[in-house]
């Protein structure tokens, strides 16, 4: 049918809607012919002329429906024609919203020309009464204007179109938050792109009328617009151009003085942002009023967050005043402006123990840290007054207040140190005096705080002053007060980086003097642990490490060689300290490693060998010490070059496998060498000697793959290792050998080695574990198996997972079940000594879950083992993996928490604490049972369990939503009353905190 006839019929009919068939026909027509849409427009014009209002509505409706799907097919002449057509027909307000829809479609086309855009904008500005339109149409208009600016800002500016005026009209009295966000954005674009000099006042008024924004976001707002979004957007508009300064500054200050609460905060934050944009010249005339208002806030406000904002604003305003003023008189305006501020502060400082003095100190710090001239001005005005007031005979409350104020000023001077140098002597004297002449801990703490700041300031303390400070700090290290020791140590930690040599000369002799050695065999002081802690912190800096390592080795020699047996804890502590400082220092610096290779490790090995082969009067050794020394050997090997590693591995094999002592510098009597206690395959050694096989493990386990094991056949060596390990009666030997085997499999695995492992496991390990009667043999074989599995899993080897299945099955065994469950710690935990690579645990979560579920029904008494295995597994895998599985994990977690096994509960509580609070939404159906399981645990026997359960319970409301938790609230609060009366104080503390959170 002819299109004209079709349209005619439709227009004449009573139908108001566009039939799908008609629409399809018209669309087809318009795409078939190049001038299709223009033709249709022609028809519409004629219908418009003849028709009544209904007919006109139909015209626009049809056009809107046709234009939307043809958006991509429109050409520029068609666009122009449509714009013309619409532009002449905007007088009827009923039709306008639909016209705007058409405009938006046109604006979204890529080919719309600048002339068309200008024409379109003109039509909007001149013919549409925006205020009367509904929200969504106003939103579309603002969107159209944004698009226009995005595409043709320059063209619009060059044209005669009064865009800014038109826009201001459109935005006038807009109240919808969504529209306002677009409008504010537009204001910023206009300010950015246009010359606004003739519209400043209008633009300012249209924006500032919204200040301060009082908008309460609806909780169900689908767009999620917050008050802060609006505030931020408006604030950015105000800070967008310095042109606004003239109008904005007095008004902002007025708002600051007349409003309260959040409006006042808004005003301060806006000033903070606007000050740098407006510049010093704009602020200066109002500085007095501004500071008065801000300072009043700091002195009188009870809300610390408001005080913080006020201080930040003072800082920003002072910083602004310091910029943009000619260099010749740079000090004058700033000084003048902050003069009154300073005067008030100074008068408050005269009574330092009162609250206002503290506020004044904060204000001074905020101002002084803002700019160089401000810093100079503040320092010269305030400092003399403060230090003149200090008398060491004053009550400590006053002294402390003065020290605190001084510290604030020191903090302000961090970046500008020149003015303070003048007063350095006096300040230093005050701090040192208050540190020495008092027994008041609080005062000493304040003093140490100030000294810390002085040390941190670059180039502030020099020469002799540094020595004095270090001496005083060192004295504090011996204090009986923990807090003082801690503070002194922190400061000395900074010193260690800056002046390692002086620290080595002044502090370490004092520290080391406290520990006994051969030259000075004093009794072990009670405070030795503090001394070691201090060494542990300070000597981690490589330069310091190199200075102290020799004297410290002497102390260790004396400790292990002479007083070890009677002071086992001390020996352990000193060895651990040595390990700690070596570990940290060698990671930072290669020189420490050289010391380790040349001095530390050789001297330790030389002392361990005689002890291990039974030479009398040698070092005291035990397993703990061997672990520490093995770790030292491990670190040294790990960091050495491959060629160095090869050398040490060769030496080690000679010593531990071949019983060849030729490389050991000391000579031993033949009887000890023949005893061959070092030989790793020798099982019939005397039990009196300590086993040091772990040192060999450490060396082998930390070589890189390129290093060769110089043994006849690696598979044969490996098999022998595994066989010996299962037979070894000594636990440490067995573990050390299993670890060597694991390292070899992991590093040098090839087909031969894997075959060897398979043969040994299938022929020996697994049958022993399953069939042998003696539980001890089964248990020791199991340990070896676990380490083999670990090494294979880390490599991601298939056979490892096959063996893992058998371990999972073993969880169901009545006698080895517990061992199997515990073995997951070994399997998944990253071992520091060897095999330190993350393991692949994701696969086994599912398997374990399946096994755990299947056994649940069959043998409830063995369920504990599976749950324990599960909890170990969950503790050692990335939290994200566990969180993904959370809905399936909830049931086992709740079952575990309801058991009576303390270890299981503790372990599962750790797991639950880590994952449940963050995933409350996903496990909402289990939340009730979970909460009640926790509440039951608040009455458990063990205080530890009670505490952890309360902790876990406490983290629920912290991270969860109130609406999810509110049903449980009454019962939780009621149940917690028992915990509030717990017999242990620490439990009660957690209960109080927990109840407070609920």
Output the six-digit token pair for 817.
């079940």
302 binds other proteins (CB under 8 A): yes
704 binds other proteins (CB under 8 A): no
Output the six-digit token pair for 551.
């004297």
941 binds other proteins (CB under 8 A): yes
444 binds other proteins (CB under 8 A): no
Binds other proteins by CB under 8 A, chosen from 942, 961, 970, 971: 942
439 binds other proteins (CB under 8 A): no
311 binds other proteins (CB under 8 A): yes
Residue 94 vs 980, nearer CB to other proteins = 980
296 binds other proteins (CB under 8 A): yes
Spatial distance between the Cα atoms of 703 and 710, rounded to a whole number of angstroms: 13
Spatial distance between the Cα atoms of 521 and 548, rounded to a whole number of angstroms: 19
Residue 411 vs 881, nearer CB to other proteins = 411
Residue 272 vs 586, nearer CB to other proteins = 272
Dihedral, 778, 780, 786, 792 alpha carbons, nearest 10:
-100
Q: Measuring CA to CA, how many Å separate 7 from each of 4, 19, 46, 382, 879? A: 5, 11, 11, 88, 66
Choose one: 58-66, 355-363, 417-425, 510-518; the region binding other proteins (CB under 8 A): 355-363
Could you say which residues in the range 255-294 bind other proteins, by CB under 8 A?
Answer: 260
DSSP string, 631-675: HHHHHHHHHS-HHHHHHHHHHHHHHHTS---TT-SS---HHHHHH
Q: By CB under 8 A, how many residues form the interface with other proteins? A: 46
Tally the residues of the chain. 998
Residues 6+ apart with CB under 8 A from 823: 782, 786, 807
Binds other proteins by CB under 8 A, chosen from 944, 951, 964, 965: 944
Nearest in space to 784 (alpha carbons), one of 831, 845, 833, 826: 826
Spatial distance between the Cα atoms of 621 and 438, rounded to a whole number of angstroms: 45
193 binds other proteins (CB under 8 A): no
Dihedral, 770, 771, 777, 781 alpha carbons, nearest 10:
-40
8-state DSSP, 560:
I
The helix (H) or strand (E) run that includes residue 770 is: helix 766-771
- In the complex, what is the shortest distance from the CB of residue 975 to other proteins, in angstroms, rounded to a whole number? 13
- In the complex, what is the shortest distance from the CB of residue 299 to other proteins, in angstroms, rounded to a whole number? 7
Spatial distance between the Cα atoms of 253 and 610, rounded to a whole number of angstroms: 83
- In the complex, what is the shortest distance from the CB of residue 354 to other proteins, in angstroms, rounded to a whole number? 5
- In the complex, what is the shortest distance from the CB of residue 995 to other proteins, in angstroms, rounded to a whole number? 6
- In the complex, what is the shortest distance from the CB of residue 941 to other proteins, in angstroms, rounded to a whole number? 7
594 binds other proteins (CB under 8 A): no
Binds other proteins by CB under 8 A, chosen from 49, 160, 458, 985: 985
Choose one: 71-79, 197-205, 303-311, 570-578; the region binding other proteins (CB under 8 A): 303-311
Binds other proteins by CB under 8 A, chosen from 255, 400, 485, 926: 400
State the CB neighbour count (10 A cutoff) for residue 847. 13
Choose one: 2-10, 314-322, 452-460, 978-986; the region binding other proteins (CB under 8 A): 978-986
- In the complex, what is the shortest distance from the CB of residue 349 to other proteins, in angstroms, rounded to a whole number? 12
843 binds other proteins (CB under 8 A): no
Binds other proteins by CB under 8 A, chosen from 78, 143, 356, 791: 356
Binds other proteins by CB under 8 A, chosen from 198, 355, 809, 837: 355
943 binds other proteins (CB under 8 A): yes
Own/partner contacts of 376-380, CB < 8 Å, gap of 24 or more, are 376/331, 376/416, 376/418, 376/419, 377/331, 377/334, 377/335, 377/338, 377/342, 378/338, 378/342, 378/409, 378/412, 379/409, 379/413, 379/419, 379/420, 379/423, 380/419
Spatial distance between the Cα atoms of 236 and 522, rounded to a whole number of angstroms: 70
Choose one: 298-306, 619-627, 760-768, 909-917; the region binding other proteins (CB under 8 A): 298-306
Could you say which residues in the range 380-399 bind other proteins, by CB under 8 A?
Answer: 396-397
Choose one: 132-140, 177-185, 441-449, 829-837; the region binding other proteins (CB under 8 A): 441-449
Radius of gyration (Cα) for the chain, nearest Å?
A: 40
- In the complex, what is the shortest distance from the CB of residue 904 to other proteins, in angstroms, rounded to a whole number? 18
Instruction: Provide the binding-site residues for other proteins, judged by CB under 8 A.
Output: 260, 296-297, 299-304, 307-308, 311, 348, 351, 353-356, 358, 362, 365, 396-397, 400-401, 440-443, 941-944, 977, 980-981, 983-986, 988-989, 992-993, 995-996
């Amino acid at each position: 049918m002819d299109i004209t006839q079709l349209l005619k019929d439709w227009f004449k009919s009573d139908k108001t809607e566009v039939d799908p068939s008609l629409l399809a026909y018209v669309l087809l027509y318009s795409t078939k012919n190049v001038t299709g849409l223009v033709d249709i427009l022609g028809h519409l014009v004629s219908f418009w002329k003849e028709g009544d209002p209904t007919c006109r509505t139909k015209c626009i409706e049809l056009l809107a429906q046709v234009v939307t799907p043809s958006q991509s097919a429109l050409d520029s002449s068609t666009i122009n024609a449509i714009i013309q057509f619409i532009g002449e027909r905007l007088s009827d307000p009923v039709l306008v919203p639909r016209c705007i829809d058409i405009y938006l479609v046109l604006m979204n086309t890529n080919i719309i020309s600048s002339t068309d855009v200008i024409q379109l904008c003109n039509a909007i500005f001149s013919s549409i009464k925006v205020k009367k339109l509904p929200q969504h149409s106003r939103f579309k208009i603002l969107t159209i204007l944004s698009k226009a600016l995005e595409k043709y800002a320059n063209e619009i500016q060059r044209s005669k179109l009064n865009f800014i005026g038109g826009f201001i009209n459109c935005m006038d009295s807009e109240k919808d938050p969504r529209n306002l966000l677009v409008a504010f954005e537009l204001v910023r674009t206009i300010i950015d792109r246009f010359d606004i000099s003739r519209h400043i006042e209008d633009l300012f008024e249209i924006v500032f009328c919204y200040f301060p924004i009082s908008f309460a976001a609806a909780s169900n707002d689908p767009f999620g617009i917050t008050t802060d979004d609006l505030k931020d957007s408006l604030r950015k508009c105000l800070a967008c151009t310095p042109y606004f300064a003239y109008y904005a500054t007095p008004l902002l200050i007025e708002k600051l003085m007349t409003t309260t609460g959040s409006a006042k905060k808004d005003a301060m934050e806006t000033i903070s942002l606007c000050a740098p944009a407006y510049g010093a010249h704009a602020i200066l005339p109002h500085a007095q009023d501004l500071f008065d208002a801000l300072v009043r806030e700091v002195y009188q406000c009870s809300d610390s967050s408001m005080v913080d904002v006020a201080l930040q604003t003072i800082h920003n305003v002072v910083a602004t005043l310091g910029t943009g003023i000619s260099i010749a008189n740079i000090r004058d305006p700033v000084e003048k402006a902050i003069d009154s501020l300073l005067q008030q502060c100074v008068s408050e400082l005269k009574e330092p123990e009162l609250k206002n003095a503290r506020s004044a100190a904060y204000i001074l710090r905020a101002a002084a840290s803002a700019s160089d001239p401000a810093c100079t001005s503040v320092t010269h005005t305030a400092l003399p007054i403060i230090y003149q007031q200090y008398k060491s005979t004053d009550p400590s409350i006053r002294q402390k207040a003065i020290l605190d104020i001084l510290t604030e000023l020191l903090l302000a001077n961090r970046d500008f140190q020149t003015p303070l140098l003048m007063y350095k002597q006096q300040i230093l004297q005050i701090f040192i005096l208050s540190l020495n002449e008092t027994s008041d801990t609080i005062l000493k703490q304040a003093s140490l705080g100030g000294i810390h700041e002085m040390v941190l300031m670059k180039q502030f303390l020099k020469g002799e002053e540094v020595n004095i400070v270090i001496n005083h700090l060192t004295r504090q290290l011996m204090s009986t007060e923990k807090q003082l020791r801690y503070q002194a140590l922190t400061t000395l930690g900074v010193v260690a980086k800056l002046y390692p040599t002086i620290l080595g000369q002044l502090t370490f002799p004092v520290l080391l003097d406290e520990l006994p050695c051969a030259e000075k065999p004093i009794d072990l002081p009670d405070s030795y642990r503090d001394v070691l802690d201090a060494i542990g912190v300070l000597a981690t800096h490589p330069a310091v490490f190199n200075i102290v390592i020799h004297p410290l080795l002497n102390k260790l020699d004396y400790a292990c060689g002479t007083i070890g047996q009677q002071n086992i804890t001390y020996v352990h502590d000193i060895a651990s300290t040595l390990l700690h400082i070596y570990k940290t220092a060698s990671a930072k610096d290669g020189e420490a490693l050289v010391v380790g290779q040349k001095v530390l490790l050789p001297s330790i090995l030389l002392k361990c060998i005689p002890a291990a082969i039974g030479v009398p009067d040698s070092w005291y050794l035990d397993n703990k010490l061997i672990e520490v020394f093995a770790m030292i050997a491990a670190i040294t090997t790990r960091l050495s070059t491959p060629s160095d590693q090869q050398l040490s591995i060769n030496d080690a094999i000679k010593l531990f496998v071949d019983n060849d002592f030729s490389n050991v510098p000391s000579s031993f009597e033949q009887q000890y060498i023949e005893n061959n206690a070092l030989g790793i395959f020798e099982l019939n050694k005397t039990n009196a000697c300590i086993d040091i096989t772990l040192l060999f493990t450490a060396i082998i386990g930390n070589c890189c793959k390129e290093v060769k094991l110089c043994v006849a056949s690696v598979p044969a060596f490996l098999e022998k290792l595994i066989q010996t390990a299962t037979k070894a009666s000594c636990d440490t030997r067995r573990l050390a050998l299993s670890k060597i085997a694991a390292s070899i499999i992991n590093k040098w695995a090839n087909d031969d080695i894997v075959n060897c492992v398979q043969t040994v496991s299938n022929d020996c390990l697994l049958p022993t574990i399953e069939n042998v009667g003696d539980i001890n043999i089964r248990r020791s074989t199991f340990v070896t198996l676990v380490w083999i599995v670990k090494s294979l899993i880390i490599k991601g080897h298939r056979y490892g997972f096959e063996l893992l299945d058998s371990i999972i099955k073993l969880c169901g065994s009545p006698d080895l079940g517990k061992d199997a469950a515990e073995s997951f710690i070994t399997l998944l935990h990253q071992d520091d000594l060897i095999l330190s690579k993350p393991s692949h645990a994701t696969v086994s979560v599912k398997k374990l879950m399946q096994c755990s579920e299947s056994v649940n029904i069959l043998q409830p008494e063995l369920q504990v083992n599976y749950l324990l295995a599960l909890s170990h597994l969950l503790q050692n895998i990335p939290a994200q993996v566990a969180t993904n599985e959370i809905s399936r994990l909830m049931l086992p977690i709740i079952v575990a928490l309801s058991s009576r096994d303390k270890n299981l509960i503790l372990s599962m509580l750790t797991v639950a604490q880590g994952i449940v609070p963050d995933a409350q939404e996903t496990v909402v159906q289990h939340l009730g049972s979970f909460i009640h399981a926790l509440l039951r645990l608040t009455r458990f026997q063990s205080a530890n369990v009670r505490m952890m359960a309360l902790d876990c319970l406490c983290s629920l409301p912290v991270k969860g939503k109130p609406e999810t938790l509110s049903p449980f609230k009454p019962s939780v609060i009621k149940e917690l009353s028992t915990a509030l009366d717990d017999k242990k104080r620490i439990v009660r503390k957690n209960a109080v905190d927990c109840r407070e959170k609920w």
